[in-house]
Amino acid sequence: MADSNGNSKHENGETKIKAKPRIERNRVLVTGGAGFVGSHLCTYLVERGDHVICVDNFFTGSKENVAHLLGKTNFELIRHDVVEKLLLEVDQIYHLACPASPVHYKYNPIKTIKTSFIGTMNMLGLAKRTRARFLLTSTSEVYGDPLEHPQTEGYWGNVNCIGERSCYDEGKRAAECLTFDYQREHNLEVRVVRIFNTYGPHMALDDGRVVSNFVAQALTGQPLTIYGDGQQTRSFQYVSDLVEGMVRVMDGPYTGPFNIGNPTEFTMLELAQVVKEVVNPDAQIVYKENTADDPSRRKPDISKAKKALGWEPKVALREGLSRMVSDFAKRLGVEAPKVPGRA
Ligand SMILES: NC(=O)c1ccc[n+]([C@@H]2O[C@H](COP(=O)([O-])OP(=O)(O)OC[C@H]3O[C@@H](n4cnc5c(N)ncnc54)[C@H](O)[C@@H]3O)[C@@H](O)[C@H]2O)c1
């Protein structure tokens, strides 16, 4: 006779425990999962039912970014530096761990290039041991100061290999090289995305990137700082579009590299004007000298991702900015402005 748990006594006196149904879940490692992009990716994967293991050394990321996931049974957080080896059993690896903003990656450039190269090699080693599918988050910075516009994945780039930004740019180029070498040499399933400027909630307030700078300045009543003449262009992608693109690349059949970005171009001056409109119409604009090696134009050609994966960004700049304002206002301890059309 079975008891209320379904366990029964065998005639030899042993209790036979009823097997619990096995829940088949993808075990997904997200390195850098407590950072800006990683925290949104972890949320997406946890919500769709994957078992997510978030690994981070909290250099630029924070526990607060994933605090809403900490009680979930399908989420684990591990403090670990990817420059050190890691032993886990996983089915997929999203490798994001690496500081992404110039202030952070220039803070300790040798550590940045170690994170890019050794960190990526360690995670590829883990993928090789577990036969996990591996996705590298590369960057539009592999194109350097591009001589082709817009940039397709076939463009080899124009990078200054001894400049201040090269710890990041060359680090990512070496990480891409390693990733494809692991595919060629070990037949590993790899995926590569080249991410273009992305913004949204959970960006570090002090990361010096233009969108977070402008939004924080507008919210706190400071002038918006434009470096250079404001005519350099960038394209800005809202973080939910990026997450959707990354997941499609990981789950899809193609290796890439894929450009994942929003091709709509804005000059810095136009961006400042949209931020004024959405956040604080009274904000002033000031101009300062530009930094070294700042690319003058950057715009993705996303036809490859569109054709192969049916992916394209959906969130327009005004909408995306209004979605990130309340998170920034909360963290800055100021009142969020009323965004037109939102409660
Ligand atoms: N956000 C963008 O616009 C953008 C653009 C291009 C590429 N990317 C790439 O996407 C990834 C995520 O970027 P993000 O914007 O979320 O940056 P982020 O700085 O917010 O996140 C990076 C995360 O990696 C962690 N990390 C850094 N070094 C580590 C190490 N050695 N070991 C373990 N964890 C480490 C940080 O603590 C942080 O949580 C990065 O690889 C970045 O190069 C981002």
**What is the Cα–Cα distance from 97 to 35, expressed in whole angstroms?**
8
If phi over 0 gives left and psi between -120 and 50 gives alpha, with beta otherwise, what is residue 208? left
Q: Report the atom number in ligand 1 closest to the C-alpha of 97.
A: 24
What's the confidence (pLDDT) of residue 18? 64
Question: Which domain CATH number covers 155?
Answer: 3.40.50.720
**Which protein residue's CA is at the shortest distance from atom 11 of ligand 1?**
96
Render pLDDT for 96-117 as a digit per residue (tens, 0 to 9): 999 999 999 999 999 999 999 9
Residue 328 lies in a domain: yes
Instruction: List, chain by chain if needed, residues with CB within 6 Å of any ligand 1 atom.
Output: 31-32, 34-38, 56-61, 81-83, 96-100, 104, 115, 119, 137, 139, 195, 197-198, 204
Counting atoms of ligand 1 from 1, which one is nearest the CA of 195?
6
Atom of ligand 1 nearest to the CA of 62: 39
CB 110 within 8 A of CB 164: no
User: What residues form DSSP beta bridges with 29?
Assistant: 53, 93
For residue 94, give the H/E element and its range. strand 92-95
pLDDT digit string, tens, across residues 113-142 = 999 999 999 999 999 999 999 999 999 999
pLDDT value for 112: 98
The Å distance, Cα 206 to ligand 1 centre, comes to 14
Q: pLDDT value at position 334?
A: 92
Per-residue pLDDT tens over the stretch 207-233:
888 999 999 999 999 999 999 899 988
* 43-76 burial code (b ≥16 CB/10 A, e <16): bbbbeeebbbbbbbbebbbbeebbeebeeeebbb
Model confidence at 293, pLDDT cuts 50, 70, 90, reads low
Contact by Cβ (8 Å): 135, 175: no
Residue 249 domain flag: yes
Per residue in 33-89, pLDDT (tens digit) is 999 999 999 999 999 999 999 999 999 999 999 999 999 999 999 999 999 999 999
336 CA → ligand 1 middle, Å: 27
Q: Atom 18 of ligand 1 has which residue's CA nearest to it?
A: 35
| Domain-located, residue 99 | yes
How remote is the CA of residue 261 from the centroid of ligand 1, in Å? 16
Q: Is the dihedral of CA 228, 234, 238, 242 positive or negative?
A: negative
Pocket test for ligand 1, best of 60, 115, 194 (most atoms within 8 A of CB): 60
| 13 in any annotated domain | no
- Sorting pLDDT into bands at 50, 70 and 90, what band is 343? very low
Exposure letters 273-298 (e unless 16+ CB within 10 A, then b): bbbbebbbeebebeeeeeeebebebb
Q: Is residue 168 part of a domain?
A: yes
Rounded to the nearest angstrom, the distance between the alpha carbon of 241 and the centre of ligand 1 is 17
**Is residue 339 one of the residues assigned to a domain?**
no
Does residue 272 have a pLDDT over 70?
A: yes
Ligand 1, atom 32: closest residue by C-alpha: 81
Q: How confident is the model at residue 341 (pLDDT cuts 50, 70, 90)?
A: very low
- Return the ligand 1 atom nearest residue 209 CA: 3
**Position in ligand 1 atom list of the atom nearest CA 104:** 19
Q: Which of 168, 182, 199, 238 is catalytic?
A: 168
pLDDT class of 295 with cuts at 50, 70, 90 = low
Choosing from 43, 59, 260 the residue with most ligand 1 atoms within 8 A of its CB, the one to mutate for a pocket test is 59
Residue 196 within a domain: yes
Q: At residue 16, does pLDDT exceed 80?
A: no
Which uninterrupted H or E stretch holds 125?
helix 120-130
- 44 included as an active-site residue: no
Mean pLDDT (the chain) is 92
The pLDDT of residue 340 is 55
Q: Determine, yes or no, domain membership for 147.
A: yes
Tokens found for residue 272? 């400042």
CA of 62 to the centre of ligand 1 (A): 12
pLDDT tens sequence across 297-317: 778 999 999 999 999 999 999
Q: Residue whose CA is closest, atom 12 of ligand 1?
A: 96
Domains of the chain: total: 1
Domain coverage including residue 313: 27-332
